[in-house]
A and B are shown apart, each in its own frame.
Chain A
Amino acid sequence: MTKPMATLKLFASLSQYLPATAVDNRLDITVESDTTIAAIIERFNLPEKLVHLVLVNGVYIDPSDRAQRVLQPGEVLAIWPPVAGG
């Protein structure tokens, strides 16, 4: 049976934490029914201080919600280090 999949996108300096199989900063990842955002951050060894802006399907996730928020199959998790522009 095919495992449920979601998408992880890592940008700027975090892109170096993606495996070589990733294309255009994105990687398909497996998720279980209890896979939280914090678990994915840990799975990819992302340094805590570089995990700054976290969006799921483009919607902001507060740092305090990362340990509870489960990533659903088909969702897109995108993470940036501290950035700004204008």
Chain B
Amino acid sequence: MGWTRKILRVNLTEGTCKAEDLNMTWAKDYLGSRGLATKYLVEEMDPKVDPLSPENKLIMATGPLTGTMASTGGRYTVVTKGPLTGAIACSNSGGYFGAEMKFAGWDMIIFEGRSEKPVYLMLENDRAELKDASHLWGTSTWHTEEQIKKDNQDPQIRVSSIGKAGENQVLFSCVVNDLHRAAGRSGVGAVMGSKNLKAVALRGTKGVSGIEDFTEFAKVTKEKKAILAENAVTGQGLPTYGTQVLMNVINEMGALPTRNHKSVQFEDANAISAEAMAKPRESDGKAQLVTNAACFGCTIACGRISKIDKEHFTVVNKPQYWGASGGLEYEAAWALGAANGVNDLDALQYANLICNEQGMDPISFGATIGAVMEMYENGTLDEAAIGVKAPFGSAAALCELVDMTANGVGFGVEIGLGSKRLCEKYGQPELSMSVKGQEFPAYDARGIQGMGLTYATSNRGACHLRSYTVASEVLGIPVKTDPLTTDGKPELVMAFQDATAAFDSSGLCIFTSFAWSLADIQPQIDAACEGEWSLEKLSQVGERIWNMEKMFNLEAGLTKDDDRLPKRLTTEPAEMGPAKGLVSGVPEMLPKYYEIRGWDTEGHPKAETKARLGL
């Protein structure tokens, strides 16, 4: 059956934990994880609530394939209303936490209300208990995980927690599990912090049972793993080079946002690339990259594990940062590096470690630093205001500011607001490179036109993971399209959005889509879950989820104005590279996108669209 059919409802105000049956009618329409958790949120909560109030709910959810033998089946999702955006927040993470939730016998956990004092949830199979977290409050995600394992005398507990950033309600704080995997975007960590919920600790020994047709499931998952192994990208490219190999690709294409999107190429891109990570450093003769790593059940293993030179200025006399740890991945390396003009690879990894340790999204943090540095250079901010000299390219400023933001010190408090609020405060709103208040990831909308529309229409604010058209526009997966044209991009973006919503709701990793299509996950879901799961049904589930998220945002008060890019991208042409002379074509693509979505000219789903999707 895929699902355990059980959810845990935790009322933090009352201090209660209650088991409930999963709504199977909803499960058959929304599958699991992203889709099903959002359905619960939509049904139970007013979209207008203050994201940091007790009225907001936070849901951690697995998909029907989480914890199974399907490749990459280790994903879980954190769904809530996002404080950074005021929109639906849906952040997906790997590691081992999601599978452990399934092994403990739960499809999802719904957190409501607010605890009077810091607590964490200890969930061991059927036994749920809210425990005092006073001794964990004010400590990092790394310490929290270690201490919970010690307190409960069980090193096999899996922990998802917030660091000081989440406690301080940094608006781009995240939820970190397994030390360096994160539900990273939209500020889901701040919601946990607002509830005085420090961590969720899981121990499950039940395994996964009830697969609908186990013989077929074993057969089909084996076949699909072979496709991943034989595919050049998922079988060799991603495990060997990781996502970081894109740094030079995107730079060569003239689509690497540089210095707060002032430029589209970074002259030192190679110095912060996958190639640089694998090359012995001049300082100590060792490469930053130590090895690759995999999440639960993953047969791709794209993760990077690295070490900083012990003599690097960031970690001298800080032995706690000398060990091997997660990163750098492409998005973080870009946001901490090219977005700020910083070319010091070990400085980027240091900033990345602090983001993991204290629970911050490195994309939004790094991109916000880009805005700070631009305001420093144009004279809006000075050293007295920031606390450090902060010109573009300053590794020292980057590392000082990551400490200040993570610890809620000085100007770090303002950085923790994110670039939109920060730039508005200093009278320069146009310098925030964001949509719906969430900062862009690592692709310039002028050089990869589909990504502009992806950012503008993403329900959780600017994001690459809602419709990764880079696969088509750059890598030719599944077919090559021209990154410089807007032709066909509304259709491409919509197809990617709907397919991604289905992938995310299954409990599998979207990176499988470099080798698999929906037609490859469909038989895995069909074998695991009760009922008929055709390709057509799965496609419609994806479309239904997308429209449901959109309707949540509209009811929350977002409008067509929130589907726009910053003026820089639509009025300032790229000055170099293949996109030279081009601006983003989002204004011309958006009406067509609304039309093919079955939405009116204001971006509202039409009655017939809602009826067709059962919304």
B603 within 8 A of A: no
Determine the chain A residues whose CB is within 8 A of the CB of B252 once the complex forms: 9, 55, 58, 76, 78
Residue of A whose beta carbon sits closest to that of B441: A86
Q: Interface size class for chain B?
A: 35 or more
Q: Interface size class for chain A?
A: 20 to 34
- In the complex, which of the residues B480, B482, B514, B578 contacts A84, with contact meaning CB atoms closer than 8 Å? B514
Determine the chain A residues whose CB is within 8 A of the CB of B578 once the complex forms: 57-59
Residue of B whose beta carbon sits closest to that of A57: B578
A67 within 8 A of B: no
Instruction: Tell me the bound Cα distance from A55 to B511 in angstroms.
Output: 24
Stretch at the interface among B3-11, B53-61, B83-91, B463-471: B463-471
Residue of A whose beta carbon sits closest to that of B247: A85
Instruction: Tell me the bound Cα distance from A7 to B455 in angstroms.
Output: 34
Interface SS, B side: helix
* Contact of A83 with B470 at beta-carbon distance under 8 Å, contacts A25-B275, A52-B232 already known: no
Determine the chain B residues whose CB is within 8 A of the CB of A62 once the complex forms: 480
Determine the chain A residues whose CB is within 8 A of the CB of B480 once the complex forms: 60, 62
Q: Which of B168-191 contact A (CB under 8 A)?
A: none
B249 within 8 A of A: yes
Instruction: Tell me the bound Cα distance from A25 to B253 in angstroms.
Output: 16
* Contact of A86 with B243 at beta-carbon distance under 8 Å, contacts A55-B252, A62-B480, A80-B249 already known: yes
Indicate if the CB atoms of A86 and B470 lie closer than 8 Å: yes
Within the complex, the shortest CB–CB distance from B231 to chain A, in Å, comes to 8
Indicate if the CB atoms of B253 and A49 lie closer than 8 Å: no
B287 within 8 A of A: no
Within the complex, the shortest CB–CB distance from B465 to chain A, in Å, comes to 7
Indicate if the CB atoms of B241 and A49 lie closer than 8 Å: no
Interface residues as binary, B219-240 with A (CB distance below 8 Å gives 1, 0 otherwise): 0000000000000111011101
Which of A62, A78, A82: most chain B Cβ within 10 A? A82
B510 within 8 A of A: yes
Chosen A-B contacts, 7 in total, with CB atoms closer than 8 Å, are A12-B237, A58-B254, A58-B577, A81-B232, A81-B237, A83-B246, A86-B330
Additional 16 contacts, C-beta under 8 A, given A9-B252, A52-B232, A83-B238: A9-B248, A11-B275, A25-B275, A49-B232, A55-B253, A57-B578, A58-B252, A60-B474, A60-B483, A80-B248, A81-B236, A83-B475, A84-B234, A84-B238, A85-B246, A86-B511
